[in-house]
Structure 1
């Protein structure tokens, strides 16, 4: 199903779902897509299931992977968070360098420390206003500050603002920049929703694992739906409970 959400909405959804990813990090699951439980009913893949599950359990419980932790973590969720955060931060850095206006420059240092005439006082007042304006511009919270707050949530929300064309010390994104940001947003959200099992998923098994009739087996599920498999040749259907129809 086509995702009709705008890039800005997709980026906002990433920010909303990020705490759920953090929670899922310390609650590891051993499923993958296609689901291990369903694939267990496909005889050609039973052995692979056992090997895959054992390997994943060993990795998730190995303290050498990510340092010692009081509880095992989900490497699947960890890898998703690391990849998505890196993509968002890199995109924010690149877009900021391209579209963000440099901060206003404050006036040069004054030669005199005191104003002796009304004219000099007016000059000093104007200089003070320009200094304050430059300070506010440099500290504008709408700016992307690479040295501060480098988190996935902040990057997603900042990029959402650029995708929406919100006002600030920026120019509008070009068509090329909009297209690039749209690809990043869709890809990142897809990975997040997949890690949390929120996305519709559909995949064909490899040619090495056909149905008994020789047809290709297609699996689909996710987004709260129970995973099922269907042979595109004979129409046989499998669920976690076994063969539904043949």
Structure 2
């Protein structure tokens, strides 16, 4: 099977998982949540602090904070991937789709309401595999562009769902007691580990392992 098509089909398969994760922001900071959950928990903590500061700046009749109903990291990922897929499909249709006035199930309606990300990913997968449609086959430059979009989109999705190993340096406000920056690594089912880049201390979900 075409690698690009496989990646796009995987995106479509994982999209419901992203949708589910969108409404489940982390509420506690714990390494046991996994790398994605731990970073999301830190994000939620920062959001809460920012909301509290904004509340102090408001007039009395505006006081009060509203909870963040979604996981912002997941939402940003979904928006970026959906936009990339939709734009790619629109470009391909505009350049390759035959000018037919009759409806056809394989046509891309690029002038109306955008399709969902999963549907768009599957439509692009069919184009990558050369499945018959009322349009010309993709050119080599189009195939290369689609391959890049598929690879980058899947990377984003897998990272958001903690399916890929990753490393990230935390912001200064989450520094070690010595003042050094903390590096978090984990994901893909591995236990997240934190390490101070200055003093060398490192932690797991069980606490400080070495200092």
Per the normalisation by structure 2, the TM-score is 0.70
Structure 1 residue 221, shift from structure 2 partner: 0.9
Deviates more, 1:181-190 or 1:201-210: 201-210
Change (3 A) 1:217 1:159: same
Residue aligned with 1:102, SS: coil
Residues 169 and 183 of structure 2 are in contact (CA less than 8 Å); yes or no, is this contact kept in structure 1?
yes
Larger Rg: 1
| CA drift at 1:87 | 1.4
Report the secondary structure of 1:197's partner residue: coil
Q: Kindly provide the CA deviation profile for residues 136-176 of structure 1, in whole angstroms up to 9, marking residues without a partner as x.
A: xx322111122266111111111111111222222222222
Alignment match, 1:185:
150
Change (3 A) 1:166 1:206: same
2:75 match: 78
- 2:22 aligned partner: 25
Q: Which runs of 5+ in 2 are unaligned?
A: 55-64
Tell me whether 1:52 sits opposite 2:46 in the alignment: yes
Q: Unpaired runs of 5+ in structure 1?
A: 41-47, 66-71, 106-137
The equivalent of 2:59 in structure 1 is: none
1:62 and 2:35 are equivalent in the alignment: no
Partner of 2:105: 141
1:13/1:35 Cα in 2 relative to 1: closer, same or farther (>3 Å)? closer
Q: Deviations over 1:5-49 (max 9, x none)?
A: 8221111111111111222222222579966859x9xxxxxxx88
SS at match of 1:229: strand
Q: What is the Cα-based RMSD across aligned positions, in Å?
A: 3.9
Distance 1:56 1:26 in 2: 20
Report how many residues are paired: 192
Structure 2 residue matching 1:199: 3-state secondary structure = coil
Q: Equivalent residue for 2:93?
A: 96
* Residues 186 and 193, structure 2, Cα contact 8 Å, conserved in 1: yes
Q: How does 1:94-173 map to 2 (within 5 A)?
A: 94-103=91-100, 138-146=102-110, 147=112, 150-173=115-138
The 1:217–1:79 alpha-carbon spacing in structure 2 relative to 1, beyond 3 Å, is closer
